[in-house]
Chain A
C-alpha cells in the first residue's frame, strides 16, 4: 500500500512539474514563465544601468567603441566596414531580437513552426506569394556584390554573436511567452525583412476588382469613374517640368479587351493605409541659409518600434538615422554633407496573368501558342504540435500561380483581391541589390552620389528626397518601373499573349526627377509622380492629392523656415478634403428635417474649422458623414455583392459632389424610389450623429475626435498589455498628419543642414524592444504630442556630449 501511495504522490509531483513546463494552447508554460530566476521576471530591467562596460567578441578585427545616449541610442565607432556592421548587428539583436525573428518567420511563412496550426493559412499565403523565392533571388544578387556581401555577412555574424551569448533565461520575453528559441541569423533573413517592406508598400492590387467592374459596366463607366488621371492633382515633379531625355518606344497594347476574371468571394472596402510625407527647402527659404529636409514615413504602427535609431561611424562614413531592425545600414537619415528621406510610390509593379494549363497535372501552360513547361516549388511547412504540411506552387515565367482554381481559402482576408488561376508578376521576386543604394547614400557627399546610388534601387519604389550642404535639393520617384503600354495591368491580363508581358524597364536615369526647381522646394505625399506629359505609364491611380497640395501651399508661402515651422507642418491636421466638400455637404442638408440633437451637431460641423484636432467634435461628425456619403453613393453599384469590386476613388467622389449634382449614381438602385444627392447628404448626416450616439452616448467630450479616432500602438503579436494605451492626438488620412487608429508617422525627422548641423527625430516607441525596459516606449508621448527629440550626432569619437550616458569598449577576442 505504502509503495503505491508513494508512487502516486511522486507521479503527482512529476505531473504538476511537467504540466507547468508545457505550453497549453496559447498559455505559456506557467512554471517556466513565472520562475523569477529564468522566467519573465528576469526581463524586468533595472532603472539604473552601469555606465561603463568592456568585453570581447569573437570575430571583430579591431576595437570598437559604442556610446549610448540618454535614449539608449547607440553611436558606433569602428575602424572598418566589417566591424561597423558586425556591431550594428550585435546591438540591434540585443534590443530587437524577437522582433527580427518573428518578422522573418512571418515573411517566410514560418509562423506555424512557433504558433501552431492557426498560422498555417497565413504561412501558405506568404509562400504562395513567393516571399521566400523573392528573398532568395535578392540574396543571390547581394552576395554577388563583394562589398555588399561583406556587409550582409558581418551583420549576420554580429547578430549571431549576440544570440550565442544568450542563456535561455536571457531570451526576450516573447520567446518565453511563445516558448521557443531564437535561431541563427543569415543574410537571407535580412532579405526577407526587406521583402516585407515590398509586401507592405508595393503589393496593392486592384485589377481583380477592376476587371469585375469592367465586366459589369463596360468601358465607358470605367473611363468615367476610374479615370487614368485624377480630377485634382498636384504632382511630385511640378507641373510643366520639362523632360530632359529621349524616351524609349512605348510597347503597343494588344487588340481587344483584357481578360475578364470572375469569382464569388466577398471583399472589404479597401482602406487607404499610407500617408507618408517628405519635403526639402532650398537655402533661399530657410532661416539658416542652408537647406532643410523633413520626412515622416507612415506605416502600421507596432511595438517594438518599426525603426531602430543608430549612428554608424568609420573612416569612410559618419551616418545617423533609422535602420530596419534586421538589415544593415541607415535607411532614412543624414551625414555631415547630405540628408535624405523616402515616401512610397504607388507605381504598378504587380500584375496578374491568367494561366491556361494544358491539363490537371499543371505541367505545361499556354504561352504564345506553345505549351511551355511549368516549374514547381514544394513548400514544406512544419506545424508546431502537428504534422508537416507540403504545398506545391506552380511557377510560370510570369511568376507563381498563387491559387489554382478552387484552391483559394474561404474567410482569409489577405487573399480577397487575389484571382484564382492567375500567375503573379511582382517586382519583389526579381534579383535586386537595394542595400547598395542605402550604403551609397550613407556615404554620399553630393547630388551626383545621390543620383548614382538610386540606380541600384529596385523595390518598393520610393520618392527619394535629397538635400545637400551645397544647396542642392531634389526628389526622384525611383525604383524598377516596368516599361508598359498605357494602363497595362489596370485589369487582369491574358498570360498567354506575349504583348502583355513587361517589356523591360524604364531606364533608371529616365525615372521622374526634379532638381532645384524655381519654387525653392521639393515635396511628396504619395500622390502622382508627374503631370500627364511624362512619356511613360507608372499607374492609373495614386494616393489622393490632398496632403501633397496642403504641403505645397504652405511651403510656397513659407519664408525663413525654422525647424519649428517644419515640425508644425508635419503636425498639420487641416483637411483639404473638408475644404473641398464641407460647404457642399452642409448646404445640401434640409435643416427642417433635423431633430434637436442633430441640429446641435449640424451647427457644430457647419462652424468647424476643418482641422482634425484632438478636441474637435466637428471632425468626428464630418469624418463619419463623408465616409457614409461615399458608401451611400457607391455601395449599391460597386459593393460587390456577387463579385468583388471597389468604389471609385475619393477624388472621383469629390468631383461627383461638386460638379455632377444630378448624376444617376446618387440613386440607390436597391429601392423603388429615386434618391437625390440631397437625400444622401441628409441620410448620411443622420447616420453620423446616430452612430456617434450609439458609440459614445449623447453629445459630450466623448465625441471629441481623439476619442473617436482611438489612436494606439499595438504590440507586433497583439499581446495584450504590451502595446500603448489610447493616445489623445489629432490627425486624419487627408491631413498632412495622417494619423489614424494604428497607422501613422512611423518616424518623424527634420534635418537642418549646415556647418552647425541640427537633427531632430522621434518614433512612436523606444530603442529597446523589451516591454520590461524603460526605453521600450519612452518616445511615445513626445511623438503623440507632436514634439521631436534633438538627435545626438557625434562628429568624432572624441567629441563629448552630456547626453552620452554609457560607453562600451568592445575588443577582439
Chain B
C-alpha cells in the first residue's frame, strides 16, 4: 500500500514540483502508514526506483537513447552499447535511495512522536 501511495503521489506531484518533493512525500506517507522500518525503506525505495526508471525509459526510448549515451560519456561511464541502460538504473537507484531514506525517517518519526496512533 505504502509503495503504491508513494509512487502515485510522486507521479502526480513531479509534474508540477521539483524533484525533491519525493522526500516529504515518502516521509509523510511512511509516517502515516503501519509498515516497519525495513519495509518502509524498501517500499519508498522501490516506489521511486520503479517510477523513475519507467519515466526515464519513456523519455529515452523514443530518443533511441541518443542523449543518454552522450550523458553517459560525459559522466565518464566506460564505453559500451548498454550505457544508456546503466544510466537508467543509476537514475532509479538515486531516486530510490532518497525516497527509501526519507520513508525510513518517516517510520522513525512515527515511532518517536506518533506512537499513540
Contact = CB atoms under 8 A, between A and B. Distances in A.
B20 interface: yes
B33 interface: no
30 contacts: A2-B108, A2-B112, A3-B112, A9-B109, A10-B109, A13-B27, A14-B23, A16-B97, A16-B98, A17-B23, A17-B102, A20-B94, A21-B18, A21-B19, A31-B94, A31-B95, A32-B20, A35-B19, A36-B58, A37-B14, A38-B19, A44-B62, A45-B67, A47-B62, A47-B63, A47-B64, A720-B74, A721-B69, A771-B67, A772-B63
Nearest to A177: B74
A43 B67 contact: yes
Contact of B90 (A32, A34, A46): A34
A249 interface: no
B55 A36 contact: yes
Contacts of A47: 62-64
A46 B63 CA distance: 5
A407 interface: no
Interface string B74-91: 101000000000000011
A31 B76 contact: no
Interface in A38-67: 38-48
Given A6-B105, A10-B105, 8 more contacts: A13-B98, A34-B95, A41-B67, A41-B68, A44-B62, A177-B74, A771-B66, A771-B70
Contact of B20 (A17, A43, A177, A774): A17
Given A720-B76, A772-B70, A30 B94 contact: yes
A722 interface: yes
Interface string A758-785: 0000000000000111100000000000
Interface residues of B, number: 41
Contacts of B20: 17, 20-21, 31-32
A45 B15 CA distance: 18
A708 to B, nearest CB: 23
Contact-residue size bin, chain A (C-beta under 8 Å from the other chain):
35 or more
Contacts of A41: 55-56, 59-60, 67-68, 91
Interface of B: 14-15, 18-20, 23, 27, 52, 55-56, 58-60, 62-64, 66-74, 76, 90-91, 94-95, 97-98, 101-102, 104-105, 108-109, 111-113
A378 interface: no
Interface of A: 2-3, 5-6, 9-10, 12-14, 16-17, 20-21, 30-32, 34-48, 168, 173, 177, 719-722, 771-774
A39 B108 contact: no
B105 A38 contact: no
Contacts of B63: 44-47, 772
Query: Mostly helix, strand, loop or mixed at chain A's interface?
Result: helix
Contacts, number: 129
A246 to B, nearest CB: 61
Contacts of B73: 720-721
A31 to B, nearest CB: 6
B62 A48 contact: yes
Given A17-B20, A44-B59, A47-B64, A36 B74 contact: no
B114 to A, nearest CB: 10
A721 B71 CA distance: 7
B19 A39 contact: yes
A555 B95 CA distance: 63
B108 A36 contact: no
Contacts of A13: 23, 27, 98, 101-102, 104-105
Contact of A36 (B56, B71, B97, B98): B56
Contacts of B27: 10, 13
Nearest to B109: A6
A722 B112 CA distance: 50
A771 B27 CA distance: 36
Contacts of A37: 14-15, 19, 55
Nearest to A772: B67
B52 A5 contact: no
Nearest to A10: B105
Contact of A774 (B15, B66, B105): B66
Contacts of B91: 34, 36, 41
A721 B21 CA distance: 31
Nearest to B55: A36
A32 B67 contact: no
A5 B108 contact: yes
A361 to B, nearest CB: 49
A32 B95 contact: no
A21 B19 CA distance: 9
Contacts of A772: 63, 66-67, 70
* Interchain residue pairs A-B with the least CB separation, the first 8: A721-B73, A772-B67, A35-B19, A44-B63, A36-B55, A6-B112, A46-B62, A2-B112
A40 B67 contact: yes
B16 to A, nearest CB: 9
Given A32-B19, A37-B15, A44 B105 contact: no
Contacts of A3: 112-113
